[in-house]
Copies of this chain bind each other. A is one copy, B any other.
Amino acid sequence: MAARSTIMDANSFRSEHADRLDLDTRKLTDRRDELLGGSYRLFYRNPVHLVRGEGQYLWDANGTKYLDMYNNVASIGHAHPAVVEAVHTQMKQLNTHTRYIHERILDYTDSFRNTLPDYMDPMDFKAMYVCTGSEANDLALRVAKSFSGGTGLIATTEAYHGNSELSSGVSPALGAGQPVGSDVWLIEAPDAYRTGEADIGAWFARRIRDTIADMAESGVTFAGFIADSIFSSDGVLPGDYLAEAIDVVHGAGGIFIADEVQPGFARTGDHFWGFANHGVTPDIITTGKPMGNGIPVAGVLARSDVLEAFSGSLPYFNTFGGNPVSMAAAQAVLDVIEREGLQEHARIIGAEALDAFRQVGGRHHQVGDVRGAGLFIGFELVTDPATREPDHALALDMLEELKARGVLTSVAGPFGNVLKLRPPLPFTRSDIPWAADALDESLRVLTARG
């Protein structure tokens, strides 16, 4: 099985691929090498040079049209005119910071809190705005420590929660070069397919309980548990199994940080928020990618008393956070989700896509599992369904074959063998055959070869 450290850059262009590029692409990858830091990675052995987007479609410099099955930043659709116009209108008026009064941040926070599920009281929560999911998680982790008085954090073994020093410490998906933070305990993700556990919720709750006990034995006070409720980097694990684990977290005085950068904003169909699929109540909710459809805006929505433990002593200020332009973009996103019925759309079309992709899976024994919630689907590749041995090499080859058929996506999971199918929400019924046929044909081509 692939070592964890190779996963993050697995789907990536590397210098040994350079000779096979066409001249235009080669010129651009050379310029990147010359101009940008070496941490930058391009997707694909033959990278894509994109110039235009609309809805769920992207076009490259040669005019080739792609079906975007990966990007949740342009969540309501690439270049959505409602966001374009909202940003344009606000930019012409004013863009400034939160040390002056502006109504956009207040109106947005009203709308934002009202997206919480019925079993939660929006009045119990207050918002803080930042610019990236990393900033949101960095702040959330600090708030969790302030409130709990502890330092011990739990995350999953392939989690990704950000790129700041603090959030990198709970992001083992970054690979072996990234040290795990001090007082961070990593636990295996609740993967029902891979563990074969019938009651994954009870299994995961036991892990959490044991880890908190470990921590106590090491003299570390438990601060909290951070997780993306669909465990996107851990391989896309939809379901309704976290309630018992979160009860354990709360019972031990810990904070549950729901990182909604991946599952939030209507994507999972049944609910606006990913955590709501589990019926749990987070103490802190963090958001990022899909919030402004590409404009850098992110947020922390936290229980007022939890936030107070931090804000009582610290005048946190984020210069660009919550500025009128970012808030205009974010408001347009919420308005479009409601007006275009994108949550219900994700529920219906996601179920149809899942069904279609499962039919593809049924025709190829290398497809171990196909699982999803709304428009967030994991397509897991194995050498053999009996052994469940992950097939990382096949997954990487699939990405290239899918691209050749105009379908863009990438991989996830500790073994890099799960295709992450997560299109912009306008992905619709008529796009399903494109994606399903591309999966089917790519599998046929690759498994015939092998």
Q: Which residues of A contact B (CB under 8 A)?
A: 8-9, 12, 25, 28-29, 31-32, 34-43, 47-53, 58, 71, 73-74, 78-79, 83-84, 87-88, 91-103, 105-106, 109-110, 113, 123, 126-128, 130-135, 138-139, 141-142, 163-166, 174-175, 177-178, 288-289, 293-297, 300, 302, 307-308, 310-321, 323, 325-326
Contact = CB atoms under 8 A, between A and B. Distances in A.
B47 A128 contact: no
A7 to B, nearest CB: 10
Nearest to A408: B100
B319 A73 contact: yes
A41 B317 contact: yes
Contacts of A296: 131, 295-297, 320, 323, 326
A317 B39 contact: yes
Given A177-B314, A294-B323, A319-B133, A128 B36 contact: yes
A52 B127 contact: no
A318 B174 CA distance: 12
15 contacts: A8-B315, A38-B311, A39-B128, A39-B317, A49-B100, A50-B96, A50-B101, A51-B94, A78-B94, A87-B87, A132-B320, A133-B319, A134-B135, A165-B165, A294-B325
A102 B316 contact: no
Given A36-B128, A37-B310, A131-B131, 6 more contacts: A37-B126, A38-B307, A41-B315, A50-B94, A73-B319, A294-B320
Contacts of A101: 25, 28-29, 32, 42, 47-50
Contact of A91 (B34, B79, B92, B110): B79
Given A36-B127, A38-B308, A103 B28 contact: yes
B317 A35 contact: no
Contacts of A308: 38
B93 A174 contact: no
A441 to B, nearest CB: 23
B106 A295 contact: no
A166 B163 contact: no
A9 B294 contact: no
Given A95-B79, A96-B73, A165-B142, A128 B37 contact: yes
A9 B42 CA distance: 43
Nearest to A80: B91
B314 A106 contact: no
A49 B141 CA distance: 32
Most buried by B among A8, A92, A310: A92
